Structure 1
């Protein structure tokens, strides 16, 4: 992105002159140095562009893209308008930004073969089909598979997990996600397996720990990825990952990863890592209930609430009444 274009955008958006001068000085004072055999060569002065990693980079880039919005709005009102990329030349001339053909593609939908051929001939970009990934997240017109979801592992703070559980609990008991009233039964009890008297809902906090453990397993098993090579090159440096302790200067996310590593240490030497199996091992089991095998899935919640809320005097009385009601029905178990 050209520096003159950034300066003109800042002025046009009404930023103070002194502020614009400071930004331009930061941009134009950029220098680079190439390192050969461990020694830096002569510094080179930059002529254009924004530096990746610079805290100002995303903000200035967004301001520069504001120039594109009115162009698209105006051209869309033109009767001869067909598709956006034909009208980007003015933006390219002003900003200095050019589309990288090796990283670009076009996705078409609900168009005849004739129109598709006409567009591809003028744009000269390869035609691709969904799905594709953006920042690691699969984008598709259909629902993504379980395999795709396994790759989306995030370190969730406890506050976020608590908020998600609150939304799920509110939806489960009150049919919306904003009701703050408590449910009839503790959420932890609902997250138990059905054979233990629960409904089989996943405990999000434990599931997140098990999913994070897979990242630790990737590092331990030396999976082929840039992230694994970076961890071994920057942190372990040939040491044993199983006994590695993070330095004080490490990020919160990496410290969290090392903490979870200790919880799943028995799985780090395995040939394969199963998030479901590790989840079951991290969860504290409860004794199985006797009524679990007597009721169908639809009646599980009814029996569960009766037993947990103690609407009747004893556990055995609740099971007896519900069981008799089911087996006395002319249709039997549902």
Structure 2
């Protein structure tokens, strides 16, 4: 039965990422089904015969497959069906086809079939350099600069532990104060040696710190 749409979601809505994941799960199922039917051949990893056909993170997807003529055509069909079913269009202007030990002729063919650009290794995926030497410091510099720029203006919000240990209905976080719990654990007879040992351990760990940091 068709679902009638009553209202949409704006960008930034907390529910939007969850709904998007439900939709792209269909894309994952479609590529897996074509792989089972032998219409799409994934990339073999290791000696155990494991084939990987795609990797997904949020709205980023990587398709992996053998350099065969059938794979680009099958992939184009899957993407087109996904667009018709979901109403979401793949931005081929931001998509690349990248080959590893693949001839330039095949890359040009895949480029014409999928209407995207030919990329090269190394490339950036989710902010990380893929295919670059991980031991070279220079390959990580763009990521470190980006993190420094995003986190540089942030400061730790200092909050009194007395406020943190207050109940939630009083504006606190409801975190238990160790200063109140430890004496109870030390004298608890029903719990046996384990509770007394836990109390002693908390005393040794907690009260070596600053007196104001004994909550939590």
TM-score by length of 1: 0.32
Quick check: which has more Rg, 1 or 2?
Answer: 1
| Structure number having the greater strand percentage | 2
TM-score by length of 2: 0.46
